[in-house]
Amino acid sequence: MGKLVVVFMLFFLTKAMNFGGSSADEWHKSIEVVKEEEKATELHFYFHDTVSGKQPSAVRVAQAADSDKSPTFFGVVMMADDPLTENPEPTSKLVGRAQGLYGSAGQEELGLIMALNFGFIDGVYNGSSLSILGLNPALHPVRELPIVGGTGVFKRARGTAIAKTYRFDATTGDAIVEYNVTAYHY
Ligand SMILES: *[C@@H]1O[C@H](CO)[C@@H](O)[C@H](O)[C@H]1NC(C)=O
Ligand SMILES: *[C@@H]1O[C@H](CO)[C@@H](O)[C@H](O)[C@H]1NC(C)=O
């Protein structure tokens, strides 16, 4: 019995010492969760991916030795800064830019792994962004991509982006893609 008491005392003494030591820790603390109401926003715009010409908006930054022999260009990585416009015409109102990486991650079927920041510049959305991360089987008529986060108006966003090819030029590789995005945010 006496032994047990000593063990307990030692245990609490050690705990107390640990606690004393951690008071010097200033890099973390728990904070209260502020309950906010969830909001939802629907967006509709066109994504212009230009890989040809003198001023491409997407450029190849890496590839594997055999990428160009692969039917799916497996291993090619592109860096994009693509305009997002209100209508399909490239001259229509610029509402944002899709910036980031996409690369061929499929060997059997064309599948683009996309890690893009959709940054908006129009109206109340100016300065706000959505983050897209997912696989885009680009030859399917309609694709679904996950929204994994956001900033500004789109703080803590989750949602879905539906992509549909509006125009694809098989000679140049240039594409215009229609997007419908539903974002749930705070
Ligand atoms: C968006 O915000 C930036 C920085 O605050 C500002 O310079 C720019 O004019 C704004 N753009 C539009 C289209 O309102
Ligand atoms: C986006 O939504 C509009 C209106 O509901 C619809 O006409 C269009 O086909 C949709 N496009 C995509 C890519 O889902």
Q: What does the pLDDT read at residue 25?
A: 86
d(CA 178, ligand 1 centre) in Å? 24
In whole angstroms, give the CA distance from residue 83 to residue 101. Answer: 14
Is position 7 within any domain?
A: no
Single out the residue of 159, 162, 166 nearest to residue 136, CA to CA. 162
Across the range 76-90, mean pLDDT stands at: 98
Is position 5 within any domain?
A: no
pLDDT in tens, 102-125: 999 999 999 999 999 999 999 999
Tell me the C-alpha to C-alpha distance, in Å, between residue 142 and each of 2, 100, 137, 138: 74, 21, 9, 8
Across the range 64-70, mean pLDDT stands at: 96
Domain count, the chain: 1
Whole-model pTM: value is 0.85
Ligand nearest to the CA of 182: 2
Is position 172 within any domain?
A: yes
Is position 30 within any domain?
A: no
pLDDT in tens, 10-42: 555 555 555 545 567 899 999 999 898 999 999
d(CA 95, ligand 1 centre) in Å? 11
Is position 146 within any domain?
A: yes
Q: Check pocket membership of 162 for ligand 2, CB cut-off 6 A.
A: yes
Q: What does the pLDDT read at residue 20?
A: 47
Find the CATH number of the domain harbouring 50. Answer: 2.40.480.10
Is position 33 within any domain?
A: no
